[in-house]
Every structure is written in structure tokens, then in C-alpha cells.
Structure 1
Amino acid sequence: MKRIITKNFSPKLILTILMLLGLSVYANAADVIKLIVKEDRASCTGVAPQTCFQVKYKNSKGWELFYSNISGFNYKPGYRYVILVTRTKRANVPADASIYTYKLKKVLKKQKMPVKTGEWDFVVKHKWKLIQMNGVALEQSPAYVVFDKEKGRVNGFAGCNSFFGAYEKGDGKLTFKQMGSTLRACVDEDRNRLESEFLKLISDKTLKYDVAEQTLNFYENHRLVLMFGMAPLDKK
């Protein structure tokens, strides 16, 4: 039987190798952290405009933006959560990505929060320009929406045509009803596609909504489908 020759490996070298191996394992080790997740999201900018969770860590003094996704976390606006999350450091970090991945371990608490008073009064005082649709950021989008609180009416511009209709609000949801639009021909293919997709999303639909900083966001099946940015309301 051949003997393994180790005389050329000093104890110091062996210790260094073991330490490096230990550091490599530690770099990819997972730890468990506790997060408090606020009942509404906030607008933020990553690769594109989006909404982010607002969270508090153990030593947080205030709400902090959380840019990553949490795998397995079925978040519902209007509820405040206390959760345990497994945080794992990535071995190879993609460009514009977090150095960590996050996975839900346990929901410790889920609490329904009272609806903010005056939130809708804030919405109706502004025009809301479409800045994101179905996860795609829109630059220089002509589409916008305006709400009339007293009449329960909604109107705006979809890309080529003006649209109008009624709405009903309740329990964090908005129902668009009796929607219609003008019938101007749309020769611009991009605007025509924008208008078609936008009107399809709001025609006779009930969507959850929230207001985060200066954005108005609509959700379908807990998925963000429309994001509007605040703009001054035109004076009549």
C-alpha cells in the first residue's frame, strides 16, 4: 500500500487551507432573520420603477425599503406581518441583484390594519399618469386617469382615445363600471397596443389598490398590474 506523503505540507499551510474552506462554507451559509412588513408598499427604483416592501429589522428606527422578493411569502396589502425569513448569501451575484436570496420560514403574526382615513381624498386631488403596466416600465406614456369623488366617475386618456366610466370603492378595492371611450382611429401601433392593454385591464374589473408615497397601484390576484405616478390636476 502506498503511503501519502505529507511532509511537504506544514501545519501552518494546512491550517490556512482549512480556514479558507471554512470561510467559503460560511459565505454561503443561511441565517434566519425576523422582519416586520408594513401593510402597504412604497414606490422605489431598481432596474425599473417598482414598488417595494417596507420593513423593519431588529435594530431599525424606521421603515426601510426592501428591494428583494421573499420566496413563499403570500403578501396581501392591508395586513401587517411579522415573519421569519431564511437569508442566504449568493455564490454568484447577478448584475443589479441583491447579494442575498430570501425565503419565508414562518409567519409569526398577521394583523389587519385599519384603512387610512383621507387616503382617497388624496387620490382625487391629483391626476395619475401611467408609469408601469404588467411589470413593464413606461417612459413618456400619454395615458392617465382622474377620479371624481362627488360623482363617482372616472375619466382619462388611454393613448389615442379618451375614456370614461363609473367606479365603486370599498375595502381596499376599486370596481370600474360602465366603461366607454371615444372611437378615434389609432395609427400609432405602440399607442394602439398600449391603449388596448390598458383598457382591457380596467374595463369592468375589480382591482385591489394602495397608495404608496407618490404612486397609485392596482393589483389583480395580488400581482401589480398598473402603477400610476402623481401629477398636478388640470385646473378647469
Structure 2
Amino acid sequence: MKTRLLMLMMVLSTISFAQKTITMMIKENTVPCVGVGPMDCMQVKEGKAKTWSNFYSSIEGFKYEPGYQYKLSVIKTKRTGNIPADASTYTYRLKKLLSKKKVKVPVATYLNKKMILTQINGKDVTDGKVYMTLDNTTHQMFGKSGCNRFNASYKLSGNNIEINPMMGTLMACDPESMKLEQDFTATIDKKEFEIHTTGNTVHFKDIKTKNVVLKFNIPTESEIWSFIDGKKWKLIQMDHTGMDYGKAMIRFDVKSKKVSGNGGCNNFFGSFTTKGNEIIFSALGSTKMACPDGNATSTEIKMLSHLSNATLRFDVAEQTLNLYKGEQLIMMFGLER
């Protein structure tokens, strides 16, 4: 009997040693991190910790909702036996939700906006060939580096940004564009910066010296539409196919909010409104001429189908106007001089 009681006490002591109740604070936003693979991590303060740390595990019974700061009572248990290499040393189980407080999460003004490079290492850049966007949802940076298109993941922590290795296309361009691309890539790839904004200007500063290394400008909506307005934009790519689409083109009248053009055979007309980086097309109509050219007819059917009563995202890159459905580039128009 005494032996059994002693064994029971030893088991209870082991359980008590391996398990404890802790207080845990959960931050209102997650951050990109790498565990077994790329993931989003909650940020936590365990016990009396003063700084936030990434949390690579999960809490059984707890449902996280961004925008709220939590205080939890959590049962933390040390795993025993053979622990898988990709598993945490501890398991966590919610004991009690102590508080849940709504917190307004500020979004940096430069996120999800096209930024055009205007200065690199003190040298002015005026041709608009380098631009990028920091997507706050996917944590991806993408754009054009002078000649080629590129993308990279990034990690944002307060005013600091860490750029992961860049990937891009491998086209050859004119020597000037290639030199600019080499300088830009060498300056930003796999680097960390401190970001500061002044109006529509975004400064990337060296972490140590605080010198401005890169300077970008965010075009205002009025500047973008002033550039688009009234010009003839000729269709040069549709559904990933670049070719000569004949008469297919589009033109916007910003003042009247009217859109017009040619689908390849017939003229079309309609209305549009804008909301940020979106164009909402409506009330599209066209002439009804028969077109003997089968390719022109096919182009027209596809083009008007994309535009009819649609909401499309857009951006302007140097001499092109690009229209997207979701993340897919569906039409590219070149500025006709």
C-alpha cells in the first residue's frame, strides 16, 4: 500500500513539474515568420516578459482574432518522449480568457501603393523605370527594377523593413536600364531599412547610419488620372498573349467619366467610376458592324467581356496601362504617341 502511494505521489509530482499555469499576453497583429515553412506568427509576452516574441505553436481552445489584444491564463505542459523535430517542446491549453481589448492597428500609408524610385544613394532617378508595391496582405514586394519585373517577401516590424532574397525575370535591356537595375538590386536585395514618410515621399534609411539610401514617390490619384486622361491606349497584351491587336484601344475622359474605344472592329462607349486603384465600368455599348476579320472579332468579344460591368484593378507603369482581375493581369495597353 505504501509502495503504491509512493508511486502515485511520484507520478503527481512529475505531472506537476511538467505542467504549470502561466499568464500570456497576445498582440493585436501577427507577423510573417518561418517555422516548418513560411507562416504568420502571433506575438506574445509570457509571464513577466518585457518584449514581444514570435509564437510558433498554437493554444488549444483559443481562437485568435486580429485587432484585439488578449490576456490569457494558459496551461503550459512540457512534452515527454520522442518529440518530432517540427514540434514545440511545450503544448498550450487555454484555461481562462482574462481580457480581450479592441486595438486599432495602424496601416502604414505607403503599403499597397505604387512607389516610384526618385533617388538612389543620393543620385536622382527621373525615368520612372523602377517602381514597387508592398502588399500588406501577402507580405510580398513586387514591381520593376529598371528592366525586369521582380518580387520578394518582406518582414515589417514598426518602421523597420527586412527584404528577403529577390526573384525576377531575366530579360536584357538597354545598358542604362541594366545599370540602374544592378544598382537598385544591389542596394535593396536582402537588406534591412528604416522607413520614414513625408507626405507622398517614402525614405528608406540605412539602419546604422540613418542616411537616406532610397527615395520613392507615391503618385496621387489626380496625378495618375491626369496622365491617363484623354490619351489613346492601344491594346498590346490580353490574357497573357502579347501581339498586334489591330485597332483595339481604349480612351478615358476623366471630366465626364466616359470611356470609349475600339474592340478591334466596332467602336464602344460607356461610363466609369474610380475607387482607389479600381476602375468600375458600366453601361457599355457598341456599334454593330459585321467584321470579316475573325481575329478582330475574337479580340472584340474577349475585350468587351473583360470590360462589361466589371470592377478591375489598374496601375500605370511608364508607358503602359495595366488592368487586373484579382491578381491576374488580363489586359495591357501601350500609350500611342
Which AA in structure 2 matches 1:170?
K
- Mapped to 2, the partners of 1:66 and 1:83 lie a distance apart of 23
Tell me the number of residue pairs that the alignment of Structure 1 and Structure 2 aligns.
Answer: 162
TM-superposed deviation, 1:209 = 1.0
Of residues 179-188 and 197-206 in structure 1, the stretch that sits farther from structure 2 once superposed is 179-188
Partner residue in 1 for 2:336: 231
Partner residue in 2 for 1:84: 163
The structure 1 residue matched to 2:278, chosen from 173, 179, 188, is 173
Is the aligned partner of 1:123 residue 2:217? no
Where do 1:105-144 residues align within 5 Å? Answer: 115-116=219-220, 117-139=222-244, 141-144=246-249
SS in 2 for 1:126: coil
- Identity value in percent: 30
Partner residue in 1 for 2:259: 154
SS in 1 for 2:302: helix
- Mapped to 2, the partners of 1:172 and 1:87 lie a distance apart of 25
Partner residue in 1 for 2:313: 208
Structure whose CA Rg is larger? 2
Compute the RMSD of aligned alpha carbons: 3.9
Partner residue in 2 for 1:54: 131
- Mapped to 1, the partners of 2:258 and 2:151 lie a distance apart of 37
TM-superposed deviation, 1:84 = 2.7
- Mapped to 2, the partners of 1:111 and 1:223 lie a distance apart of 31
- Partners of 1:119 and 1:211 within 8 A in 2: yes
- Mapped to 2, the partners of 1:109 and 1:201 lie a distance apart of 41
SS in 1 for 2:165: strand
Which AA in structure 2 matches 1:135?
H
TM-superposed deviation, 1:172 = 1.2
- Partners of 2:150 and 2:166 within 8 A in 1: no
TM-superposed deviation, 1:165 = 0.4
Which AA in structure 2 matches 1:54?
Y
- Mapped to 2, the partners of 1:218 and 1:109 lie a distance apart of 32
- Mapped to 2, the partners of 1:220 and 1:67 lie a distance apart of 22
SS in 1 for 2:336: strand
Which AA in structure 1 matches 2:146?
L
TM-superposed deviation, 1:213 = 1.0
Is the aligned partner of 1:65 residue 2:146? yes
- Residue 183 and residue 67 in structure 1: after superposition, are their counterparts in 2 closer, same or farther (change >3 A)? same
Q: For structure 1, list consecutive stretches of 5 or more residues without a partner in the other structure.
A: 1-36, 43-51, 56-62, 75-80, 89-94, 98-103
The list of structure 1 runs, each at least 4 consecutive aligned residues, that deviate by more than 6 angstroms after superposition, is 107-113
TM-superposed deviation, 1:64 = 3.2
Give the structure, 1 or 2, with the largest relative contact order (CA under 8 Å, sep 6 or more).
Answer: 1
TM-superposed deviation, 1:216 = 1.0
1:76-120 deviation line (CA, Å, top 9, x unaligned): xxxxx95532369xxxxxx969xxxxxx99x99999975524220
Which AA in structure 2 matches 1:230?
L
TM-score by length of 1: 0.56
- Partners of 1:40 and 1:210 within 8 A in 2: no
SS in 1 for 2:256: coil
- Partners of 1:124 and 1:149 within 8 A in 2: yes
- Partners of 1:216 and 1:229 within 8 A in 2: yes
Q: For structure 2, list consecutive stretches of 5 or more residues without a partner in the other structure.
A: 1-111, 118-128, 133-143, 155-159, 173-188, 201-217
- Partners of 1:40 and 1:212 within 8 A in 2: no
- Mapped to 2, the partners of 1:40 and 1:222 lie a distance apart of 18
TM-score by length of 2: 0.40
Which AA in structure 2 matches 1:155?
S
- Mapped to 2, the partners of 1:224 and 1:177 lie a distance apart of 20
Partner residue in 1 for 2:54: none
